[in-house]
Amino acid sequence: MGATGVSTGLDTDLDTAVLLDITAGVTRDWVARPGTSGGVQCHASTVLAVGDSLLCAWFAGTREGSPDNGIFLAVRQPGGGWGDPWQIAGPDDPADAVAHWNPVLAHAANGDVWLFFKRGPRISEWATWLCTSADDGATWTAPRELVPGDTGGRGPVKNPPVRAADGAWLAPASTESWAPAGAIWGAFVDRSTDDGRSWNRVDIPLDRSTLRGAGVIQPALWATGETVGALLRSSEGHAYLAFSPDNGRTFAPAVPSTLPNNNSGLTVAQLPDGSLACVHNPTGTSWGARCPLAVSVSRDGRHWQTVAIIENGRMPLGGLTPSLPEAARTGFEPHDDGVRTDGTGEYSYPAAVVHGDHLLITYTWQRRGIASATVPLTLLSTPLAQPESNRKMQP
Q: How is residue 124 annotated by DSSP?
A: G
Cβ atoms of 161 and 106 closer than 8 Å? yes
Q: Where are the domains of the chain?
A: 16-391
Show the DSSP H helices in the chain as ranges: 16-19, 388-391
CATH for 16-391, among 1.10.3720.10, 2.120.10.10, 1.20.58.100, 3.40.50.2000? 2.120.10.10
Q: Where are the alpha helices (DSSP H) in 217-369?
A: none
Q: Give the separation between CA 337 and CA 16, rounded to whole angstroms.
A: 36
- Say if residue 212 is exposed, middle or buried (CB neighbours under 10 Å; 0-12, 13-18, 19+): exposed
Residue among 375, 376, 329, 362 at smallest CA distance from 74: 362
Rounded to whole angstroms, the maximal C-alpha distance in the chain is 65
User: Which of these, 343, 374, 159, lies nearest to 265 by C-alpha position?
Assistant: 159
Q: What are phi and psi of 16, to 5 degrees?
A: -55, -40
Q: What is the pLDDT along the chain (395 residues), one digit of tens a residue?
A: 222 333 333 433 344 444 568 999 999 999 999 988 877 899 999 999 999 999 999 999 999 999 999 999 999 999 889 999 999 999 876 767 999 999 999 999 999 999 999 999 999 999 999 999 999 999 999 999 999 999 999 999 999 999 999 999 999 999 999 988 789 999 999 999 999 999 999 999 999 999 999 999 999 999 999 999 999 999 999 999 999 999 999 999 999 999 999 999 999 999 999 999 999 999 999 999 999 999 999 999 999 999 999 999 888 998 888 877 666 666 899 999 999 999 999 999 999 999 999 999 999 999 999 999 999 999 998 888 644 433 332 22
**DSSP three-state, residue 133:** strand
Residue 259 near residue 233 (C-beta atoms within 8 A)? no
Exposed e or buried b for every residue in 129-145, given b needs 16+ CB within 10 A? bbbbbeeebeebeebee
Tell me what pLDDT residue 39 has: 77
DSSP letter for 327, please. Answer: G
Q: What's residue 329's pLDDT?
A: 65
DSSP assignment of 189-232:
EEEESSTTSS-EEEE----GGG-SSSBEEEEEEEEETTEEEEEE
What value does the CA radius of gyration of the chain take, rounded to a whole number of Å?
Answer: 19
CA-wise closest residue to 232 among 209, 206, 208? 206
Assess contact for 293 and 279: CB atoms under 8 A.
yes
Quote the pLDDT of residue 381: 87
| pTM score, whole prediction | 0.92
